[in-house]
Amino acid sequence: MSEITAEQVAHLAYLARIDLSPLEITNLTHDLGQIVDSIAKVSEVATADTPATSHPMPLTNVFREDVVVPSLTVEQALSGAPDRAGDKFRVPAILDEE
Amino acid sequence: MARAELMDFDEALELFEPVLGFEVHVELNTKTKMFCGCANEFGSGANTNTCPTCLGLPGGLPQVNKKAIESSIRLGLALGCEIAEHSRFARKNYFYPDTAKNFQTSQYDDPICHDGSITIELESGRLVTVEIERAHMEDDAGKLTHMGGATGRIQGADYSLVDYNRGGVPLVEIVTQMIEGAEHDAPEIGKTYVAAIREIAKALGVSNARMEEGNVRCDANVSLRVRGSNVLGTRTETKNVNSLRSVERAVRYEIQRQAAVLHAGGTITQETRHWHEDTGMTSAGRPKSDADDYRYFPEPDLLPMAPSREWVDELRLTLPEAPAARRKRLQAVWGFVNLEFQDVVNSDLLDAVEATVAAGASAQAARKWWTGEIARLANAAGVVADSLVTPVQLAALIELVEAGTLTDRLARQVLEGVIAGEGTPAEVVDSRGLAVVSDDGALIAAIDAALLGQPDVLAKIRDGKVQAAGAVIGAVMKAMRGQADAARVRELVLERAATIE
């Protein structure tokens, strides 16, 4: 069985800023455990000479030339912003008062 | 901000051994950003260089800038690094408003460059080899401006503003191994190391390398180990150290601050600290604990890189001479004493002097003009010296002086004309009618011969013993068969004595 604990799920939820109820944490702990166990089966067939894969496509070195293309206008860039001040995005205070 | 207790630097070094580490971010000067075609330029209007990819909008898809990879490999090679045969990007996940995507595209376990070293030379002549653990690629964050509150700092701000023009600009982060044995040189090692990285990046042309514009930024890690112990102390990471002088001051400050805390029986918290240029102090940032939980994973939107060995060898051939080696070579060729050479280096005039010599001038004359009259005029005008005249123009001017067509005084007037855009030195001489009258030409040749024929007299005149000039004046009058004005000869003897090589 996997070693995923409810504490780990709660911690991850905090890091990802996702508000989970106790019931959701219980369910996710179970689900994530199953997922980890299933994926662990891969290691049963992958031998030491099988390199770890991070991408399904057998491609490397896909590059773009260093050529400028038009950007969004300032209005377009800011159109989805919840708040703005002039041409800048406006965000709430980052740190609490010390 | 409370003023921390500091221990005297020498006392701190008696009790503790400083251990250092540096992370230097070099911003590349590619035309476009790391993963999109938005322009990479400093000083544009806010949020004018953004697109769905660098704003982290749904549907944005990153594409790797080939030039940025090339620059990173060249920088790695210049730092003596191995270039990975297999490298990939990873997501570093955290929430901060300057990072629109909610992750930074960085590299984790497969950096493009690893295991290098550079050797730096301190003012004492001590050589220190700094081992480079890795140099990896990542994208830069946007720029925050904190509004409201008393200080304009992030602490106490009411809200903040974000400009994402810099978001997504390519960076190379160069990470050193632990530097031990720094001892009293610790602050100077910090400064000299960052200066060396900056110089290399500039020589390669991969970065504008202007620290004042944030092209080169340093995080300084400092910890103290109790003398006689082999247990490392807890380290702090001072961020935002953005000038060479600040690197030196920040390292010194952290050594003195940590020593005072430890000596009083306290403990050092592992944390990021912010450097404040104005007060010369560091203050605590967020503790490292949960901020370090970045959940890196391979970037699924980007394919791995496998730089071919042929490409790497090709790039190796494009590396310029190492700046430190170049300095040694030029000083030897030019025969400058340390003070003269440092003057040129510190004024950032190495290229200018080299080009002037290549255009035919003597090294000493080139140095004297660049660091003297031209630097003075540039300073007064608030511009850099090598923007005023070209090396070719200066070499032509020097030639006119050495041919006796111009005295130093006249040459300065010609220089002004050249700077004012009146043409080449020869053209300015003609249009302003500045040439020494032909009689003076013959006279100067006789004076130069007399001065060089009596080096002991020349030395005395240069020491300020003007009465010694009598011997030279006599010789000149004899050579001119009396057909010269003694007062004019005297004037010219003193002038030539000051400038003749």
* Per-residue H/E/C for B328-362: HHHHHHHCCCHHHHHHHHHCCCHHHHHHHHHCCCC
3-state secondary structure of B185: helix
Q: Can you tell me the mean pLDDT for B171-191?
A: 97
> Is A60 part of a structural domain of the chain?
no
Residue B162: CB partners within 8 Å, gap ≥ 6?
A88, A89, A90, A91, B97, B98, B142, B143, B144, B145
Q: d(Cα B388, Cα B403) in Å, to the nearest integer?
A: 24
Query: What is this structure's pTM?
Result: 0.80
Nearest Cα of chain A lies from the Cα of B220 at a distance, in angstroms, of 23
CATH of the domain at A21: 1.10.20
3-state secondary structure of A20: coil
| Residue B286's pLDDT band (cuts 50, 70, 90) | low
CB contact under 8 A, B47 and A89: yes
Q: Helices B438-453 & B486-499, crossing angle to 10 degrees?
A: 60
The tally of domains found in chain A comes to: 1
Q: d(Cα B127, Cα B141) in Å, to the nearest integer?
A: 35
> Is A38 part of a structural domain of the chain?
yes
CB contact under 8 A, B67 and A65: yes
pLDDT at residue A16, as a whole number: 87
> Is A83 part of a structural domain of the chain?
no
Higher local confidence (pLDDT), B433 or B158: B158
Q: For residue A97, is pLDDT > 60?
A: no
Q: Which of residues 20-79 of A touch B (CB under 8 A)?
A: 54-55, 57, 59-69, 71-72, 74, 77-78
The string over B114-148, giving b where at least 16 C-beta atoms fall within 10 Å of a residue's C-beta and e elsewhere, is: bbbebebeeeeeeebebebbbbbbbbbbbbbebee
pLDDT at residue B483, as a whole number: 66
Q: Running DSSP on this structure, what letter comes out for residue B283?
A: E
pLDDT digits 0-9 by tens, B227-242? 999 899 999 999 879 8
> Is A22 part of a structural domain of the chain?
yes
Q: d(Cα B117, Cα B136) in Å, to the nearest integer?
A: 15
Q: Can you tell me the mean pLDDT for B206-220?
A: 92
The distance from CA B186 to its chain's CA centroid, rounded to whole angstroms, is 19
Alpha-carbon separation of residue A2 from A5, A50, B273 (angstroms): 9, 23, 38
Domain range for A41: 1-46
Question: Which helix (DSSP H) or strand (DSSP E) does residue B448 occupy?
Answer: helix B438-453
Q: For residue A93, is pLDDT > 80?
A: yes
CB contact under 8 A, A93 and B68: no
| Residue B288's pLDDT band (cuts 50, 70, 90) | low
> Is A21 part of a structural domain of the chain?
yes
Paired with B281 in beta bridges are B276
Nearest to A60 among B32, B163, B303 (CB): B303
Q: d(Cα B74, Cα B319) in Å, to the nearest integer?
A: 7
Query: Quick check: B283 and A95 in contact, CB under 8 A?
Result: no
CB contact under 8 A, A60 and B37: no
CB contact under 8 A, A66 and B31: yes
> Is A56 part of a structural domain of the chain?
no
pLDDT at residue A98, as a whole number: 44
Mean pLDDT of chain A: 89
| Residue A96's pLDDT band (cuts 50, 70, 90) | low
Q: Which of B57, B86, B103, B161 to mutate to test the interface with A (most CBs of A within 10 A)?
A: B161
> Is A26 part of a structural domain of the chain?
yes
Q: d(Cα B198, Cα B436) in Å, to the nearest integer?
A: 46
> Is A13 part of a structural domain of the chain?
yes
Q: Can you tell me the mean pLDDT for A37-43?
A: 87
Which stretch, B143-157, B298-312, B374-388, has highest mean pLDDT? B298-312
pLDDT at residue B460, as a whole number: 87
Q: Provide ipTM, 2 decimals.
A: 0.89
Paired with B105 in beta bridges are B91
Here the tokens at position B4 are 């921390």
Q: d(Cα B82, Cα B116) in Å, to the nearest integer?
A: 7
| Residue A2's pLDDT band (cuts 50, 70, 90) | low
The amino acid occupying position B44 is S
pLDDT at residue B301, as a whole number: 93
